[in-house]
Amino acid sequence: MTTVFAPGRFASLLIALLSCAPPWAWSQTEPAADLAGPSDGWRWRPSLFVLGAYEYDRGHTALGAGSSPASSSDLRPALALGLEAGRSGSRGGFQGEVSLLGRDPFDSDARAILFDGRAHAFRSLGSRWRVELDEALRVERREALPRADFDRQQAQATLEYRGASGRAYRLLLSDRRLSLPHTPALNVTQQALSLGVWTGTGGGMSVEARPFFRRFGESARDRNQLGAAFEATHVHAQGLLALRYHFSAALGHRPTPTGPPAPGRVVTPLAAAALPELPPEVLPDAPLADPLDDDAESWPARQEHQVSFYGSRTLGQRLRLTLRAQVRWLKEREPLLKGLPGFDDRRWHLRATLRWRMSGHTSLVAQAAYASERGNPAVPELVRSQVFFGVQLR
Amino acid sequence: MRRVLVLALLALVAGPASAAGSERDRQIEALRAERDARAQQASRLADEIARLKAATRGPRAGGELEQRLRAFDRLAHRLDELERRLARLDADSRLVPGGLTEADVRPLLDVDLGPADVGSVLDAKIALLQAERARGTTQSERLEAALRVLTLRLETKERQAREAETARRDAGTALPLLRRQADESKIELHELQSARALVQRRQGELARELATIEQRLAEAERRRAGAGSTSP
């Protein structure tokens, strides 16, 4: 085993990772060829990613009948650092990525920092069994809006048994925690247990059906949820397609309590001041976390449906086109303020990314995103369009 | 009475066990047959692709070449699946890369010439050396064909692994199956690399064995010629 790590070269490449876009553009970076394949020792790959972003938002900003339309457009600078590492062999592997991104670093009113880390490890135990471990951590801080700060941590363990027919049975246990340091009343914890059946249908196609049970923390009104997820992927040498449908419903739904509290019951009112305050004329700032990757943050709802699509295709030797779409509908989602009735939350996102590999070390990235959110009483209607342009240097 | 009961119990236990064993053998046989047939198809396709690639000018593949590459892609997926299933049922199958039989990787016989070898013994050894040389030549051709297929499968798999890894990073936790797909591609890539290394290693050994055979054959024929010229 050898370790491929050159500190001097690493430091020179890690000096700066500039970005002018919400950080989900970071995920658009392409893995180095050697990180995608097996390796005998550790591989470390820092890269430089420079992006310019133009964001345009429009929507209704105030609550109730008095809402008024508003729009904003902005160009935001950012500074980020990132590193990925991995190794893999015939029986297992590890892959990890960390990135630290600061948006508007020179403007104290808009400065925001996001740390994102992911690790994934897998190991075959004989020819039939396999174990996987996953950990994801995300921390967001805003100097001018500390109440929007959040930490998210997700850990997952998977045990897989593969039969002689090629079908695999997967047992998953996960724990997700979203905490808001300045608004602890909104913290959400969630534990899930699921049993999936995976099968490869030949020709690069694989399908998984996974019923699950999940339990939210004590602060949730609908604590127990039952659901199922169906996912299919098809990979070939020119591209990849993936489709996922996810459904969940509350077990023993408890409607919003109305009327005075029962005698002896202690009610702790959540002060409105505990929630982030938004100036009425300004649209809510886009969260740094990727809206297409935030299902871990979903508050419990009576019912949830979600369809996700991912497709990528190489066009010729140098171009790659990626399309992502997601439609989500939450019926009677639990409100941010306790005591209020639940509401329907409907969202859809569409994103297209074009990556042009200019050379082995340089790529141009262009991304257009469109998002629509309706039904949330805090933001009755929000339509957001964003365009990013960037250069990735490796 | 007790003996009868014991025999009946043994029959009950051994019957299904032997039936399960023969069923497993049948499955292995069927999988091997399909794998070998697909490997032959892949070998023919790899030859066609190599010919079309040589005739193609510029970075873009022509329609016919693209069609063949897609067909190879499908065939490679099927071979991956067959090899995985075979490896689960029969651990020894990992020792012989796809498309090759055990005879294709078996070393050539080491036929040594003794100082006292003359007459019919020498003739028999010459015949044996010639037979081994013919087997070695066939083995070399088959190894070369297997290497062409493995190299093309590796190219295809590398692209798939890159696609899966990019998608895994891009989709994050939203599409968990992509993570598994990326892991699977890495393992398959590693297995193909090991298989190619094994074929290349065998090619090297075979070249040395063939050189030794040629040397001994020349020596044996020289001796026989010498014996013929000195005999009355």
Q: What is the ipTM of this complex?
A: 0.75
Please check the confidence at residue B152 and state whether its pLDDT lies above 70. Answer: yes
B73, B85, B173 ranked by CB distance to A136: nearest:
B173
Model confidence at A175, pLDDT cuts 50, 70, 90, reads very high
DSSP B76: H
Contacts of A97 in chain B (CB under 8 A): 169
| Element at A105 (helix H, strand E) | none
Domain ranges of chain B: 1-95, 109-232
What pLDDT was estimated at residue A11?
Answer: 28
Model confidence at A265, pLDDT cuts 50, 70, 90, reads very low
The better pLDDT of the pair A66, A125 is held by: A125
Model confidence at A57, pLDDT cuts 50, 70, 90, reads low
| B contact residues 27-46, partner A, Cβ 8 Å cutoff | 27
Identify whether the C-beta of residue A203 lies closer than 8 Å to the C-beta of residue A171: no
Dihedrals phi, psi of A362, to nearest 5 degrees: -130, 135
What burial letters (b/e) apply to A327-350, b meaning 16+ CB within 10 Å?
A: ebbbbbbbbbbbeeebbebebebb
B60, B81, B88 ranked by CB distance to A200: nearest:
B81
B70, B156, B175 ranked by CB distance to A244: nearest:
B175
Lowest mean pLDDT among A143-147, B74-78, B176-180: A143-147
Residue A54 exposure: Cα atoms within 13 Å on the Cβ side: 4
From residue A242, give the alpha-carbon distance in Å to each of A206, A298, B167, B179: 10, 22, 9, 12
What pLDDT was estimated at residue B193?
Answer: 87
Least Cα separation, residue B129 to chain A (angstroms): 39
From residue A381, give the alpha-carbon distance in Å to each of A276, B9, B197: 18, 74, 59
| pLDDT tens, position by position, A176-231 | 998 888 877 778 889 999 999 998 876 778 999 999 999 988 777 778 999 999 99
Q: How far apart are the first and last CA of chain B?
A: 82
From residue A215, give the alpha-carbon distance in Å to each of A152, A155, A162, B32, B125: 17, 15, 28, 47, 78
The top-level CATH class assigned to B109-232 is mainly alpha
**Is pTM, for the whole model, over 0.80?**
no
What pLDDT was estimated at residue A213?
Answer: 95
The answer, for A206 touching chain B at a CB cutoff of 8 Å, is yes
What one-letter code names the amino acid at B167? A
CA angle A167, A171, A177 (to 5 degrees): 140
Please check the confidence at residue B55 and state whether its pLDDT lies above 50. Answer: yes
